[in-house]
Amino acid sequence: MIRVLIVDDSAFMRIAMRKMIESYTDIEVIGEAKNGAVGLRMAIDLKPDVITMDVEMPEMDGITATREIMAAAPCPIIMVSSLTEEGTVTTMKALEMGAVDFIPKKSSFVQLDIVQIGEELASKIRLWAKHKKKIAIFGGVRQPSVIPQSLVSKNSPGGKVGLVVVGISTGGPAAMPKVLSSMGKINCPMIIAQHMPALFTKGFADHMRIETGLNVVEGVDGMSLEPGMVVIAPGGTDSVVREPFPGKLMLFLKLNEAANIHPNADVLFRSAFSVTVGVVAVVMTGMGCDGTEGARMLKKRNVPILVQSPESCVVDGMTGSVIAAGMASDVLSLEDLGRRLAKWCA
């Protein structure tokens, strides 16, 4: 049985969440907390498998509670976030503090909305309960992975780098600011395909811009890609790079129906294959294997594929897939990823 703690200041929400969660026979609610402070105490005492966390609460909000819980009693925390501009920015901060996932909801959270998100929430609870022991503790230390040297090619760019493409998913909002802060401003555009719903990518871009001081923006169709620009691929669709004339790069939005998640890293990587400028690809934390096939294609033109070290990932599915396929040029910590990009793209 999966044991869940609900943290929400609304009595109605707590009742609704309990009713929703306990409609599944393999999940039980072991406690309800009316704010983050109570949630912290209950997390320490009850040691739940998963916590659902509201964002805005009195006495201690969801961001602070997430940070404190991940320091005192690490546990997968799923944020329950409203579909507002303020809600998305706050959710990004919570994910940076160590929350592993989020469920978007309408502000009113009416009955129809509950029905619509019930299965998604149950699915995420089950997923993160399985990963409880593997969650990277925020600020913690994990043993480095032993990766056979035969799987790492150690190739580097053959000339000037004109584009960096990044594929990232679960754990991205916490990992990406560390890479960008270590990297600083570079002399080429970077495009980040972060798996995320459409209403959250602008908030993610805004948060990253504030955190790093870099020119981080949400991509738009037909956007000209300029040096130093960090583009967050818009959620709910896919982004491709085109080169209308040599050296001039532009971003276009095109949903790939064959892709199972969006923005899709494989789609972005494949589009970068045909540009004439030098390319560097990066694969980071996330579930699944998105990025592997795109990396395989880029490798045919000797594009370096930098991979985040598995021990620094919240979930190492994407990175592990690229490494196992023999596509990795190097496997680096978050800070070393940033420094390598700064060196290659200065």
E strand segments, the chain: 2-7, 27-33, 50-54, 77-82, 101-105, 161-168, 190-194, 215-218, 223-224, 229-232, 239-245, 248-253, 278-283, 305-308, 330-332
Report the distance separating Cα 327 and Cα 261, nearest Å.
Answer: 21
224 is known as an active-site residue: no
**Which member of 49, 54, 81, 169 is catalytic?**
169
**Which member of 290, 309, 316, 321 is catalytic?**
290
Which strand ranges, in their side-by-side order, compose the sheet holding 330-332? 215-218, 229-232, 190-194, 161-168, 278-283, 305-308, 330-332
Query: In the structure encoding, which two tokens stand for residue 224, read together?
Result: 């000209």
Mapped onto helix, strand or coil, the DSSP state of residue 111 is helix
9 is known as an active-site residue: no
**Which member of 54, 195, 207, 312 is catalytic?**
195
**Length of the chain (residues):** 346
262 is known as an active-site residue: no
Report the distance separating Cα 230 and Cα 225, nearest Å.
Answer: 9
- Catalytic residues, by residue number, are 169, 195, 290
